[in-house]
């Protein structure tokens, strides 16, 4: 299961849906695996705008991978509010290229790295979703359905 998956998951328990604590789920006892894939800078650049950076930062901190993630989304540097921006600011944004080094780190973090064993824990209800052989189990026991 790729690390980015937690950007798209929340607790399956109904009463947790309205709690901000149920997202992102938190890794516990996570065992990581590196599986190098072809580096595609364009793909990384294209998915930046759909990443929840603060949730990803939480995930990176929990896994001790803080160094892999810049402190803010590099895509934010590329966007300039067209209303308020001066010509100079707009030009600067256009010229602002995300460095290959940053993109490569993001590639390693988002594409190459997977969790093979461990748990994902809900910050609201504390339920632990087990991950075995890379597959997370989100089926709830009957008393929680």
Partner 1 sequence: MAKQYPQDGPGTPPANTLLQSLHDLPRGPTGEILTNMLPTPDTSHVSFNTIYEPSEDSFLLLDTLSSTTEVTWLRKRFASKTPYLVEVGTGSGVVIAFLTANAEQVFGRPILSLGIDVNANACHATKETVRKATAEQTAGSLYLGSITGDLCSSLLPGSVDVLVFNPPYVPSEELPALPGLERKYRDKFEHDSHLLALTTDGGEEGMETTTRLFAQIPYLLSPSGVAYILLCAQNRPEAVKSWVAEDLPKGPWLSETVGSSGKKGGWEKLQIVRIWNEKAAGNG
**Using CB under 5 A as the criterion, which residues of the chain lie in contact with Zn ion when the complex forms?**
11, 13, 16, 22, 122, 124-125
Q: Is 27 in the site for partner 1 (CB under 8 A)?
A: no
Interface with partner 1 (CB under 8 A), residue from 60, 98, 114, 125: 114
Stretch 40-69: interaction string toward partner 1, x if CB under 8 A = x-xx--xx-xx-------------------
Residues 6+ apart with CB under 8 A from 35: 112, 113, 114
Closest of 53, 33, 55 to residue 111, by C-alpha: 33
Question: Between residues 68 and 121, which has the closer beta carbon with respect to Zn ion?
Answer: 121
């Amino acid at each position: 299961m790729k690390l980015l998956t937690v950007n798209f998951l929340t607790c399956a328990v109904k009463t947790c849906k309205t709690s901000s604590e149920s997202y992102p789920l938190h890794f516990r006892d996570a065992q990581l695996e590196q599986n190098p894939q072809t580096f595609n800078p364009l793909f990384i650049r294209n998915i930046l705008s759909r990443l929840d950076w603060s949730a990803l930062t939480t995930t990176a901190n929990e896994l001790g991978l803080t160094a892999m993630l810049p402190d803010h989304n590099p895509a934010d540097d590329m966007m300039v509010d067209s209303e308020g921006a001066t010509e100079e600011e707009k030009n600067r944004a256009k010229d602002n290229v995300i460095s290959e080094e940053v993109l490569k780190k993001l590639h390693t973090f988002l594409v190459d790295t997977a969790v093979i064993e461990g748990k994902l824990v809900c910050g609201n209800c504390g339920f632990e979703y087990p991950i075995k052989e890379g597959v997370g189990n989100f089926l709830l026991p009957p008393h929680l359905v």
